[in-house]
């Protein structure tokens, strides 16, 4: 993820001599020269990624051992509406020092709480493309958590069993692979009914394939374009239908955890998810041979979709924003923090000075990185809050067969129009 050396050894030595008492300064804990570790301080972290909940708590314990600062982590994700729960926490008067935010439009409601991080030491090592979501008027208001990519994760052994020797890249090729899997008695897709997977990731495929996705989003919000009648959305629905019509029984009641566990157990050949699933898959079958296929919508080669999943925002209205900045700096500069980011979280780093091997981040992330040159982006955070939830609800109806294609796209258009009125 991210990191940077903070202080030169000579500075530390000068500080120790000046203090006359050898006050400890550790470049691994993010402290300022000559500053003793903070005691009786608690940093509250309100975070989104359920996949790293246990590991993040363990890392927090390591930070407390090194600095004396306690870090309390509260995780809300998966089937929960993180955005609504974060708003509720603020409304109740709870102000975490650090919280997650996707940036772009979703940062706007929290701009008054976001601390300017432009001068932090780790900024110099950020991948340039990761700065955009939280950059406003030339200032950086968030630390990118990592980079991630999604597509169709596939089981290489099941593909081999079905006689599929070449990775399908177009929709006709993917359809052919699906037919071969069915002939071999293998379920092609393990899918989920989670609103966020459908309304965020799967819906993004239609948006990202527009000739100018960012302009399309702005025109859509302005009422100048619609999903209904749009050529790309029409092609995208062919992919959606291929997945839904060839997925496991009971997909309407399959949550995220069940989807990942079932795929890891070899119950289906493909799963539309991202490299964030690696740790959960490894808990069930660390020896699974996995690859990543693009998500195609027509007879042209498809793409994987890469972006910044979330950003760490330091809350200016919290009790200890300065300590929060130190914790983030330690996370990306200390050996302990960097090890957790790569070896425990399995993150694709957002900083150039953090190395990650396949042994660290897993084969899914490696496959994503191999296709990153031709990857398309993430656009859901450019919409008003509540839009993706509306997309997800409509997708759930379509998945259940209660609305048709025209009704689905009409609901997409109505969702955007309604959210823009708020």
Q: Kindly report, residue by residue over 137-156, the tens digit of the pLDDT.
A: 999 999 999 999 999 999 99
Q: Are residues 104 and 223 in the same domain?
A: no
Checking if the pLDDT of 37 tops 80, the result is: no
Distance CA 111, CA 311 (A): 13
Which residue range(s) make up the domain with 325?
Answer: 9-146+309-352
Residue 179 sits in the same domain as residue 256: yes
pTM above 0.85, yes or no: no
Is residue 358 in a domain? Answer: no
Please give the tally of structural domains in the chain: 2
Residue 1 falls inside a structural domain: no
- The enclosing domain of 238 has a CATH number of 3.40.190.10
Q: For residues 164 and 134, state if they share a domain.
A: no
Are the beta carbons of 330 and 63 closer than 8 angstroms? yes
Does 298 share its domain with 314? Answer: no
pLDDT in tens, 235-281: 999 999 999 999 999 999 999 999 999 999 999 999 999 999 998 99
**Are 163 and 279 within one domain?**
yes
* 4 lies in some domain: no
- Among 294, 320, 352, which residue terminates a domain? 352
Establish if 340 belongs to a structural domain: yes
Check whether residue 69 and residue 213 sit in a common domain. Answer: no
- Tell me: the pLDDT tens digits for 192-238? 999 999 999 999 999 999 999 999 999 999 999 999 999 999 999 99
Q: Is residue 207 in some structural domain?
A: yes
The residue ranges of DSSP E strands in 194-261, in sequence order, are none
Q: Which two tokens stand for residue 221?
A: 């919000």
- In a domain? residue 360: no
- Give the separation between CA 348 and CA 367, rounded to whole angstroms: 11
Tell me how far apart the alpha carbons of residues 214 and 382 are, in angstroms, rounded to a whole number.
Answer: 8
């Amino acid at each position: 993820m991210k990191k940077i050396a903070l202080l030169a050894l000579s500075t530390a030595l000068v500080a120790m001599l000046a203090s006359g008492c050898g006050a400890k300064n550790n470049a691994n804990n993010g402290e300022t020269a000559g500053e003793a570790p903070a005691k009786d301080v608690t940093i509250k972290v309100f975070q989104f990624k359920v996949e790293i909940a246990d590991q993040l708590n363990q890392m927090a314990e390591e930070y407390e051992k090194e600095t004396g600062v306690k870090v309390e982590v509260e995780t809300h994700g998966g089937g929960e509406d993180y955005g609504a729960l974060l708003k509720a926490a603020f409304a109740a008067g709870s102000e975490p020092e650090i919280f997650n935010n996707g940036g772009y439009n979703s940062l706007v409601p929290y701009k008054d709480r976001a601390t300017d991080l432009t001068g932090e030491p780790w900024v110099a090592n950020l991948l340039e493309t990761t700065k955009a979501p939280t950059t406003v008027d030339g200032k950086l208001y968030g630390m990118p958590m990592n980079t991630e990519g999604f597509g169709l994760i596939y089981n290489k052994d099941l593909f081999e069993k079905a006689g599929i020797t070449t990775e399908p890249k177009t929709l006709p090729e993917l359809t052919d692979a699906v037919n071969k899997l069915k002939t071999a008695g293998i379920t092609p897709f393990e899918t989920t009914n989670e609103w966020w997977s459908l309304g965020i990731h799967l819906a993004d495929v239609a948006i990202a394939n527009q000739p100018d996705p960012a302009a399309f989003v702005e025109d859509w919000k302005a009422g100048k374009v619609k999903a209904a009648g749009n050529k790309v959305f029409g092609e995208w629905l062919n992919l959606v239908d291929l997945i839904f019509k060839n997925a496991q029984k009971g997909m309407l009641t399959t949550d995220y955890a069940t989807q990942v566990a079932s795929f890891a157990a070899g119950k289906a050949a493909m799963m539309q998810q991202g490299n964030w699933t690696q740790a959960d898959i490894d808990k069930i079958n660390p020896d699974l041979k996995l690859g990543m296929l693009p998500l195609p919508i027509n007879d042209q080669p498809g793409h994987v979709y890469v972006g910044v999943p979330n950003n760490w925002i330091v809350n200016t209205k919290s009790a200890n924003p300065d300590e929060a900045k130190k914790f983030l700096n330690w996370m990306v500069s200390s050996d302990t923090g960097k090890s957790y980011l790569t070896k425990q979280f399995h993150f694709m780093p957002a900083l150039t000075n953090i190395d990650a091997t396949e042994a660290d981040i897993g084969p899914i992330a490696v496959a994503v990185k191999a296709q990153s040159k031709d990857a398309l982006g993430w656009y859901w955070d450019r919409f008003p809050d509540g839009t993706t939830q509306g997309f997800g609800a409509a997708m759930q109806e379509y998945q259940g067969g209660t609305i048709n294609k025209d009704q689905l796209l009409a609901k997409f258009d109505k969702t955007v129009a309604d959210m823009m009125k708020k």
